[in-house]
Structure 1
Amino acid sequence: MSNASTQIKPAKRDGVRSLSALAVFVAILCALPMIAVFLAAISGGTQTVQHLAQTVLGDYARTTLALVLLVAFGTFSIGVGAAWLVTMTRFPGVRFFEVALVLPLAFPAYVLAYAYTHVLDHPGVVQSSLRAMMDWGPRDYWFPEIRSLGGAACMLVLVLYPYVYLLARAAFVQQSGSTFLAARALGSSPWVAFFKVSLPLARPAIAGGVLLTVMETIADFGTVAYFGVQTFATGIYTSWFSLFDRVGAAQLALCLLGFALLLAMLERLQRGNARYHDPARQSREAPIATLKGWQAAAAITLCGLPVLLGAVLPVIVLFSMGLGSEQNLLSARYLGFIQNSAKLATVAALVTVGAAISIGFLQRMRGGRMAQSAAYIARLGYAVPGGVIAVGLLVPFAAFDNALDAWMRDTFDISTGLLITGSIWLLVIAYMVRFLAAALGAYEGGQAMVHVNMDAASRSLGQGPIGTLRRVHLPILTPSLLTALLIVFVDVMKELPATLIMRPFNFDTLAVQAYQLASDERLEGAAVPSLVIVAMGLLPVILICRQVGRRP
């Protein structure tokens, strides 16, 4: 018996040490872009900062803030309104809409931008038809400009409101009907009861969803770049590639990083402080109102417009554009784009989920300040835009490559070139940093279902941490892990700024191909890779829709 115990303890200790080392390594990789951006920004002196402040910094800040406010208001209005209607009322088609309202989540905002520009721009079918029917000249009428700040906000609202909708719907479903009925009994109308009772109870979930859409907005590059809207994201790319000003790009990235981290802190504070306790939550279901007549028609319209504008119409437009293009999806060139995209997404998903497992399992097995700190740093990546991560990784690794090359030249007269910078693996690290929070959330959600007694039973049978993970946790967590893999896979397929900045030479993906064709005003050609990206994005959305469709 003593021999058995002496064999188990080193295994447990080695397993924890291995997990700790891996978790610390992942946390360092996640923190590296933020540290590198900060050091690169302060090392450039104040001359570049003063020049940016006198020229573009104010415009970038105002435009980014205006875009954030518009998207926050739009996603809040659509997401909360639709969630309340499908949860608390009944009208024809409600079961269809509660699922269909999630579909726009599969679309990148820049794909919608291509579709609506093709339809609403000056040579598009809408304005062309108006001029033909009314016999108008180009200056005889006014039409909203799609390539504008408002147009970019509309595209982002249409694809991001499902985040607010999903969280708000879950909050409304879990609320008790007792508080709502009490407000009605005190003379409040349904609308007053909603604003004074139901909405405050759901505030933490709604605020979390809105802040998530805001972080996605400041990280967006494809939409604002195509519409010519000058934000921090476009400024970073322009400084890096067009002006070749690395210090300027780092200082702009630091400004955007500070704003993103401020939002992450706000989200954490509101989630940690806002708690509502309802001991009667399960005692009575919330009252369901049946809508008829004009009220039912209004509900169908309000729920149908986001689905029509955010999913149905873009697919029809992109499909018609793709039929008229000269792009051959089965050509060797396009198969190469698909292969590159699938390869990157698959490797990044595996690496990211593996990192999430190491951090999540270490939190469970060991806990403590180190494990909690590693998990917190890992979650910060989702608040950091892809362009910031790209700059933050390229700066230190380019310096390392250049130093190594210089040393090899001086010592052995051999040039090593750029070993890490411009490689696929550095791009995979950027994806891991960006999407680790999503994978960690899915893993921790499934891990909560594994009872602690299972860990104790595994230890009593002589299993160390690695054995417990392999033989107990992973088989139970298979559905959660598959969900995490799928979410990261699709997020990588849609990611544009980091891919544009960090991809190896002659290594284009579907997202890059769509962006380049659209930049050349070849929108029909851009529709083909855009449709493939959307098709890939529908896979996890269908899984989410299946969960949404299950009423508690």
Structure 2
Amino acid sequence: MSTAPSHFQSTHAARLSDSGVRLPGWQLGSLALAALIAVPLLLIFSGWLQGENAVWHHLAETVLAELVYNTLVLLAGVTVGVLLLGVGLAWLTSLCEFPGRRFFDWALMLPLAVPAYVLAFVVLGLFDFTGPLQGLLRELFGRGGFWFPEVRSSGGVTLVLVLVLYPYVYMLARSAFLTQGRGTLEAAHSLGLTPRAAFFHVALPMARPAIVVGTSLALMETLADFGTVSVFNYDTFTTAIYKAWFGLFNLQAASQLASLLLLFVALALVAERRLRGRARYHETSRGAPPQRFRLQGWRGGVASSAAGLVFSLAFLLPLIQLLIWAWQVVQQDLDPRYFELLTHTLALGGISALITIIAALLLGCARRFHDNRLTASSARIATLGYALPGSVLAVGIMLTFSSLDNLINAIWRIFDNTPPGQIFGGSLLALLSAYLTRFLAVAHGPIESGLGHIRPSLSDAAHNLGCRALGVVRRVYLPLLRPGLLTALLLVLVDVMKEMPATLLLRPYGWDTLAVRIYEMTSEGEWERAALPAVTLVLAGLLPVILLVRSSSHPHSAQPH
């Protein structure tokens, strides 16, 4: 669908302004959302301004070096792993033909439905020293008659995160390869390049911006991860923040650790921008898609085996094991407690999704009605939360609401000697604020994309018929945005259901969720008891993955030769 020039949009915004609507009100809304993100982040660094730093000195002397080392090792391992799996599998499914390609083309995206902390406890349950595999090997070869790699190690954590996060690189690299067109690779072949040389010298450099974006998403998720590293007892900044808060009961030390984690996030974002440079990712050919090279004989078998191994380890085997464990305890655990957890999870997800969609719609309409530098900057700040780890957000929001509580109590003491105490800190409002901050970017993407496909002439016609800005939103935008709104609702709902660190740190008393239940059971090594809520989250996570699979399908089918 075509879009009008930007000067037409400016004219449209001016006409809405002439109708008497105070367009700065939309700007105030976007500024308020930006402040909701910025204030908690600024307060995180306030921990360094307080005089008492005994706990921090203890942490710096004992665990800080280990936290930095573990984080760097994890980032390096995940980077290498997602690049190898993501780019390699994308090249196989988009540019090669081998047995099972049509199935693996979409099935390799399914691991996105499995939360990393779920795959983590499945891996430990199957492959740890007390697991069935090593038990079988001890029966066959004796206690010292075989060697098995240590599962509870940096390699084990890295492998789990790579298996869960490689689809970010896979999806973007696959789309980049498919949109390069047949003419580009045929030109490379006419110059004498073999398929392998054409991949490394033509296809891969052209797909670099997309690959960098996918890798950066995987690294952001790695920095934000709490459940996986806690299951493996692998200390990183996220686990240290939790221990400082709930183990040492020191929110100041938690904020100092959170500020250091923020520096890692900032460095990752800067690196992503530098690696992309001025490169732009766009479709270079609107003609036929690239021809696929048929892998015959043993090459086709190796390709099928590699794709099948990744799919089995990342999705099929974990799902089967979860179903087996869940069946063993279903009569015991399918009780009122489970349905209470499910109700809390769905309620938090539904409320958060509605709030987040309203905020994203406000942000998108502010850009639509008042497209200037201030509104654009507000939108960038407001959608920054998705790059922030949940534990960092939890610390910032708790500091914000604690400061607000202290201010209210100080004012209250002027009139009464018995202040109300804690009002906002530890409340449901704090948890919902964390969800809004974390997932606003998730809802903003589909809504912003939908707004971009609405011709300004439609809203201009509504203006000529007497509609003000709110009328344009209600009568024009909302009906046309219905698919994007439903997509945003589903994405936020499932993300909130799977979110663990912010929920653990901020949930009010009695508001446990399925993710919290998984954390409690895995902390005690009860893998079977964690299986039923885990299966529920995996099945829920399949819904947005199905949407991604459908949206990433290419309209053409390349023919092998």
TM-score, normalised relative to structure 2: 0.92
Give the CA deviation at 1:169: 1.1
Rounded Cα–Cα distance in structure 2 between residues aligned with 1:16 and 1:269: 36
Match of 2:74 among 61, 67, 78: 67
Match of 1:96 among 96, 103, 106: 103
Match of 1:174 among 171, 176, 179: 179
RMSD over aligned Cα atoms: 2.0
Alignment of 1:87-236 (within 5 A): 87-134=94-141, 136-137=142-143, 139-236=144-241
Q: 1:84 to 1:44 in 2, by over 3 A?
A: farther
Alpha carbons 2:330, 2:532 under 8 Å: kept: no
Give the CA deviation at 1:336: 0.5
Rounded Cα–Cα distance in structure 1 between residues aligned with 2:336 and 2:406: 35
Query: Counterpart of 2:511 in 1: which secondary structure?
Result: coil
Check if 1:509 corresponds to 2:513.
Answer: yes
Check if 1:345 corresponds to 2:352.
Answer: no
Query: Counterpart of 1:356 in 2: which secondary structure?
Result: helix
Give the CA deviation at 1:501: 0.3
Q: 1:276 to 1:149 in 2, by over 3 A?
A: closer
Check if 1:359 corresponds to 2:371.
Answer: no
1:38-94 C-alpha deviation (Å, 9 max, x unpaired): 122333576655544322211111110110111111111111111111111222222
Rounded Cα–Cα distance in structure 2 between residues aligned with 1:546 and 1:329: 35
* Counterpart in the other structure of 1:252: 257
Rounded Cα–Cα distance in structure 2 between residues aligned with 1:288 and 1:299: 14
Q: 1:412 to 1:484 in 2, by over 3 A?
A: same
Give the CA deviation at 1:320: 1.1
Q: 1:420 to 1:13 in 2, by over 3 A?
A: farther
Amino acid at match of 1:72: T
Query: Counterpart of 2:193 in 1: which secondary structure?
Result: coil
Alpha carbons 1:95, 1:549 under 8 Å: kept: no
Give the CA deviation at 1:534: 0.8
* Counterpart in the other structure of 1:5: none
Between 1:193-202 and 1:51-60, the stretch displaced more is 51-60
Rounded Cα–Cα distance in structure 2 between residues aligned with 1:389 and 1:401: 18
Amino acid at match of 1:517: M
Alpha carbons 1:172, 1:202 under 8 Å: kept: yes
Give the CA deviation at 1:414: 3.8
Rounded Cα–Cα distance in structure 2 between residues aligned with 1:284 and 1:534: 37
* Counterpart in the other structure of 1:545: 549
* Counterpart in the other structure of 1:435: 439
Rounded Cα–Cα distance in structure 1 between residues aligned with 2:209 and 2:193: 23
Give the CA deviation at 1:396: 2.1
* Counterpart in the other structure of 2:388: 384
Check if 1:56 corresponds to 2:60.
Answer: no
Match of 1:485 among 482, 489, 502: 489
Between 1:209-218 and 1:423-432, the stretch displaced more is 423-432
Rounded Cα–Cα distance in structure 2 between residues aligned with 1:130 and 1:341: 40
- Structure 2 unpaired stretches of 5+: 1-14, 557-561
Q: 1:12 to 1:524 in 2, by over 3 A?
A: farther
* Counterpart in the other structure of 1:323: 327
Amino acid at match of 1:184: H
Rounded Cα–Cα distance in structure 2 between residues aligned with 1:464 and 1:328: 57
Rounded Cα–Cα distance in structure 2 between residues aligned with 1:313 and 1:366: 51
Give the CA deviation at 1:29: 0.6
Q: 1:9 to 1:170 in 2, by over 3 A?
A: closer
Amino acid at match of 2:506: M
Alignment of 1:444-463 (within 5 A): 444-463=448-467
* Counterpart in the other structure of 1:275: 280
1:377-417 C-alpha deviation (Å, 9 max, x unpaired): 02211111000000001012112213423543552244423
Between 1:55-64 and 1:326-335, the stretch displaced more is 326-335
Match of 1:20 among 27, 32, 35: 27
* Counterpart in the other structure of 2:9: none
Q: 1:389 to 1:276 in 2, by over 3 A?
A: closer
Amino acid at match of 2:48: A
Rounded Cα–Cα distance in structure 1 between residues aligned with 2:424 and 2:103: 49
Rounded Cα–Cα distance in structure 1 between residues aligned with 2:106 and 2:411: 59
Alpha carbons 1:447, 1:477 under 8 Å: kept: yes
Query: Counterpart of 2:308 in 1: which secondary structure?
Result: helix
Query: Counterpart of 1:143 in 2: which secondary structure?
Result: coil
Rounded Cα–Cα distance in structure 2 between residues aligned with 1:16 and 1:267: 35
Rounded Cα–Cα distance in structure 1 between residues aligned with 2:88 and 2:211: 11
Alpha carbons 2:16, 2:469 under 8 Å: kept: no
Rounded Cα–Cα distance in structure 1 between residues aligned with 2:119 and 2:481: 35
Amino acid at match of 1:31: A
Give the CA deviation at 1:462: 2.1
Rounded Cα–Cα distance in structure 2 between residues aligned with 1:516 and 1:70: 28
Rounded Cα–Cα distance in structure 2 between residues aligned with 1:440 and 1:336: 30
Amino acid at match of 2:389: P
Between 1:457-466 and 1:168-177, the stretch displaced more is 457-466
Alpha carbons 1:163, 1:209 under 8 Å: kept: yes
Rounded Cα–Cα distance in structure 1 between residues aligned with 2:124 and 2:16: 64
Rounded Cα–Cα distance in structure 2 between residues aligned with 1:272 and 1:350: 36
Query: Counterpart of 1:324 in 2: which secondary structure?
Result: helix
Check if 1:84 corresponds to 2:91.
Answer: yes
Q: 1:85 to 1:12 in 2, by over 3 A?
A: farther
Alpha carbons 1:60, 1:230 under 8 Å: kept: yes
Query: Counterpart of 2:162 in 1: which secondary structure?
Result: helix
Q: 1:321 to 1:406 in 2, by over 3 A?
A: same
TM-score, normalised relative to structure 1: 0.94
Alpha carbons 2:394, 2:434 under 8 Å: kept: yes
Query: Counterpart of 2:245 in 1: which secondary structure?
Result: helix
Rounded Cα–Cα distance in structure 2 between residues aligned with 1:518 and 1:345: 23
* Counterpart in the other structure of 1:425: 429
Identity of aligned residues (%): 43
* Counterpart in the other structure of 1:3: none
